[in-house]
């Protein structure tokens, strides 16, 4: 039942397709022209995007480097301030006997059940 209905439908599709292929020359020519124009437009858009990215990438890199330069300068200033304050606190650290950068604590594990 299913097989015969499928064959009938496939035959109907093949018949419709063969009728469409017999369309006049003007329709086929117009279809090929439309397809060609669409391909040319898509290629132009792709080329435009590629050129745009080549133009934008140096600006993005410049902004990133500028941002990193500011970050480096801020880190250097912070380190200098910490060094200046560290000279004042070095006597306290020597009295304390251990480095204040060491964090002491206890590691707790959950019991696995």
Whole-angstrom distance, CA of residue 12 vs CA of residue 32: 26
Determine the pLDDT at residue 55.
94
What pTM, to 2 d.p., does this model score? 0.44
- Does 60 score more than 90 pLDDT? yes
Q: 110 lies in a domain? A: no
- Does 73 score more than 80 pLDDT? yes
Q: 41 lies in a domain? A: yes
Number of structural domains in the chain: 1
Q: 77 lies in a domain? A: yes
Letter string b/e over residues 12-50, b meaning 16 or more CB atoms within 10 A of that residue's CB:
eeeeeeeeeeeeeeeeeeeeeeeeeeeeeeeeeeeeeee
Q: 84 lies in a domain? A: yes
Q: 62 lies in a domain? A: yes
Whole-angstrom distance, CA of residue 35 vs CA of residue 87: 76
Q: 35 lies in a domain? A: yes
Q: Which domain holds residue 38?
A: 23-93
């Amino acid at each position: 039942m299913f097989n015969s209905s499928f064959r009938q439908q496939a035959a109907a599709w093949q018949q419709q397709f063969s009728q469409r292929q017999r369309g006049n020359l003007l329709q086929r020519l117009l279809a090929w022209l439309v397809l060609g124009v669409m391909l040319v437009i898509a290629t132009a858009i792709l080329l435009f995007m590629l050129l745009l990215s080549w133009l934008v990438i140096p600006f993005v890199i410049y902004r990133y480097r500028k941002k990193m330069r500011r970050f480096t300068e801020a880190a250097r200033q912070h380190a200098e301030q910490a060094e200046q304050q560290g000279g004042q606190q070095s006597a306290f650290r020597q009295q304390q006997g251990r480095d204040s950068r060491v964090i002491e604590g206890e590691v707790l594990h959950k019991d696995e059940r």
